[in-house]
Amino acid sequence: MKVIHKIPPIYTENSKILILGTIPSPKSRENSIFYGNPQNRFWKVLSQILKEPFPSTNEDKISIAKKYNIAIWDVLYSCDIEGASDNTIKNPVPNNLNKIINQSQIKYIFTTGTKAFQLYNKYCFNDTKIEAILLPSTSPANFRYSTEKLCSEYSIILNYI
């Protein structure tokens, strides 16, 4: 199925780090927010490491990211994908990440998962010249990582915000 990214990036002119996924999942597209599948642990992990209450609404999620100068977007603008399975991605078209990098203070990029890291390095690094830091996926499919272990890995971003 051909998917075109329609969720606008979360960022402000003060954003210092950019967290990138691959492309919004069906649930994220349905809920109009990054990591919008209720089973995805991204917002739980982010709120825990920032010592903030869990953001239950889209507005709260956007607000917490902006409060801590965190930008959130995806590597891909469009691709062919089956469901939410990154392993099925074909015909990827990258987002122009410089669109928000040039309008902010982003100096560090993190990717949520190996596929986002690989796609970023293949399609975006030559344009941004910012080395990406790989973080584990917060997807429910990544059952190897407990929420506690994800929090431990994601706490690295505290050094950059």
Show the low-confidence residues of the chain (pLDDT under 50): none
Q: What pLDDT score does 108 carry?
A: 98
CA distance 48 to 46: 5
Q: What pLDDT score does 29 carry?
A: 85
For the chain, what are the domain ranges? 2-159
CA distance 117 to 19: 11
Q: What pLDDT score does 121 carry?
A: 98
Tokens standing for residue 146: 């407990």
CA distance 15 to 12: 5
CA distance 138 to 35: 9
The fold of 2-159 is Uracil-DNA Glycosylase, subunit E (3.40.470)
Q: What pLDDT score does 78 carry?
A: 93
Q: What pLDDT score does 120 carry?
A: 98
